[in-house]
Amino acid sequence: MPSGNTSERSATDRRNFIKLTGATVVAGSLAGCMNNGNGGDGSGDSGGDSGGDSNGATAGDSGGEGDIVIGGLQPYTGPYAQTTQQFVDGLNFRIDEINADGGVLGRNLAFEDRDTQLDPAEATSIATELIEREDAVVLTGSISSDIGLTVAPIAEDNQVPHIPQFVGSSEFLSRESRYNFRMGLAPAPTNARAVSQFIEDQGLQSVGAVIADYSYGRAWEQSINAIFPDDVDVHMEVAPFGEDSFTTYLRSMPEDMELLITASHPPGVFTIYNQLQGLDNVNPDYVIGRSDAKLSADVLGDSVTQGFIAQTQPDPFSDRFAEIGQRFYDETGEWFGVLNAVGYVVGDLISAGIEDAGEANPVSIADSIRNIELDTLFASPIEYTEWGELDNLVQLMVGFEEGTPDYYPDGNLRLTEEFRSEPLPAYDPSSDILS
C-alpha cells in the first residue's frame, strides 16, 4: 500500500498512501544531461519529387535518384544536448554503414538535422521546413513531451512518419495515430509493469518512489497505484520537476526500503542517487533510474556499482550489440552505449521500412513500419500496434561492477544483467490505467 506526499489529482489508492508536497509543472522527459552539440543544417540534396496531401502539405519524396532525406529535430541546445548527440552519433554510424553497403533502393540516406532548442515553436517551424523544403520522408530526434506532442499532429497532417528519440508521454499516441511511432522511452504504464515484474522476481516488500510533478511523473504515480502488487508497501514523495535538493524527500522514505524508483523523476535521477549516498538511514538495495548505462557510469563514477540500475530497452548483452560496439570503438574510440544504440536502431528501422515499402514514399514507409517485426539491438523484436505503440517490449534492468567491457577496453566498469522482463503489453490509450 502506498504512502507519502501525493496530491488530490491522484487516483484513490488501495495501498499505504502518501502525504503531499507542492510542486511545479514543467515539461521534460529523459534524465537531465549536459553537453554541447552542433545542430548544423546537414548536407546533401533530398532529390526526387514531392507529393502533396489533401491539405496541400508536402508529403516527402516518392522517387528520384537523389538522397533519401531523414529529418532531424534535435535539441542540441539545452539540458538534453549530450543525450541527443549520442543518439545522433549512433544514427549517423548506422547511416554510414548503410550507405557504404549501397544505400537503400540504390540511394543514399542523408540526415538533415536542425536544433529545436527544446522550443515547441521552433520544432513546429523546423518540422514543417524539413517536410516541405527538404522532402524528408521520416522525422526523428524529438525529446520531451512538449516537443513530441507538438510534432505529432504535424506528422499526422502531413502523413510523414515521426519516430522520436525519447517521448514518454501517454498522450503522444491516440488510437487514431498512424504516423507516430514510439521508440526510446516507453510510456509510464509500460515502464511500471517492468519494475513491478522486477519487484515480484526479487520478492521485495518495501518500495519508495520520487515522483516528478509533471505529466510523465504523475503518470508513473497512477501506474504504480494501478499495477504494483497489492502486498507491497509503496511510499511516494512528489517533488517539483526542477528540484535539485532531494534530501528531505529521501529522509521521508521508510527505513526498511529495499528499492527506490527514480525513473519516475527523470531529470533528478543522478542528483537523487548522489544525494542518497550521503544519508546513513536510507539504504535501499536497488535504485532504478531510467537512463543510459554509459551515461550513468560517466556521471556517477564508481558509486554506480552500489545498487544503481539503469532501465533500458536495447540489450547490451547480446552478441550483435557487442559486435556493433566493437566496430563503433574501432572507428570512434568511444563506448557504444544505449543512447547510441537507440539512434542505430532508428537507422535500422527507417532503412527496413523503406526497403519493405519498395519506395521512399512516407505513406508507404509508415505502413511498412506499422506492420514490421524487426530484430534489432533491442531486447525484443520491434513490432507496433496499429496506433504506433511498441508491443511485446522486453526491458532490462542493468547493473554495474568493476571490470572492462568486452567492446570498450578503455573502460573500468562492466554491465551486469539484473533482470529481463517478460514481454510487456502495449499501452492502450483508451484504457483507464491513467484515468
CB-based contacts of 377, cutoff 8 Å, min separation 6: 314, 315, 318, 320, 321, 324, 341, 344, 345, 348
Strands 206-212 and 259-261: parallel
Tell me, yes or no, if the two domains 2-30+187-289 and 50-185+319-383 fold the same way: yes
Question: What Cα–Cα distance (Å) separates residue 45 from each residue in 41, 186, 320, 360, 363?
Answer: 11, 34, 33, 14, 21
Strands 308-312 and 396-402: antiparallel
Instruction: Describe the strand order of the beta sheet including 286-289 as a list of residue ranges.
Output: 2-4, 233-239, 206-212, 259-261, 286-289, 308-312, 396-402, 413-420
265 and 212 Cβ atoms separated by less than 8 Å: yes
Closest CA to 61 of 153, 130, 13: 130
Mind listing the pLDDT tens digit of every residue in the chain (435 residues)? 566 776 543 333 333 333 223 222 222 334 333 233 333 333 333 333 333 343 334 455 545 679 999 999 999 998 889 889 999 999 999 999 999 999 999 999 999 999 999 999 999 999 999 999 999 999 999 998 889 999 999 999 999 999 999 999 999 999 999 999 999 999 999 999 999 999 999 999 999 999 999 888 999 999 999 999 999 999 999 999 999 999 999 999 999 999 999 999 988 999 999 999 989 889 999 999 977 888 898 889 999 999 999 999 999 999 999 999 999 999 999 999 999 999 999 999 999 999 999 999 999 999 999 999 999 999 999 999 999 999 999 999 999 999 998 899 999 999 999 999 999 999 999 987 875
Q: Helices 81-100 and 338-357, interaxial angle, to 10°? A: 40
3-class SS of residue 139: strand
Say how many residues make up the chain.
435
399 and 418 Cβ atoms separated by less than 8 Å: yes
The class that CATH gives domain 2-30+187-289 is: alpha beta
CB-based contacts of 327, cutoff 8 Å, min separation 6: none
As a CATH number, domain 50-185+319-383 is 3.40.50.2300
- In this structure, the number of other CB atoms found within 10 A of the CB of residue 247 comes to 13
Output the pTM of the full model. 0.84
d(CA 88, CA 82): 10
275 and 253 Cβ atoms separated by less than 8 Å: no
327 and 377 Cβ atoms separated by less than 8 Å: no
Residue extents of the structural domains in the chain: 2-30+187-289, 50-185+319-383
- Look-up of cell digits 522550443: 119
Question: What Cα–Cα distance (Å) separates residue 122 from each residue in 41, 74, 147?
Answer: 14, 11, 9
Question: What would the 3-class secondary structure string for 229-259 be?
Answer: CCCCEEEEEEECCCCCCCHHHHHCCCCCCCE
By CB atoms closer than 10 A (0-12, 13-18, 19+), residue 344 is buried
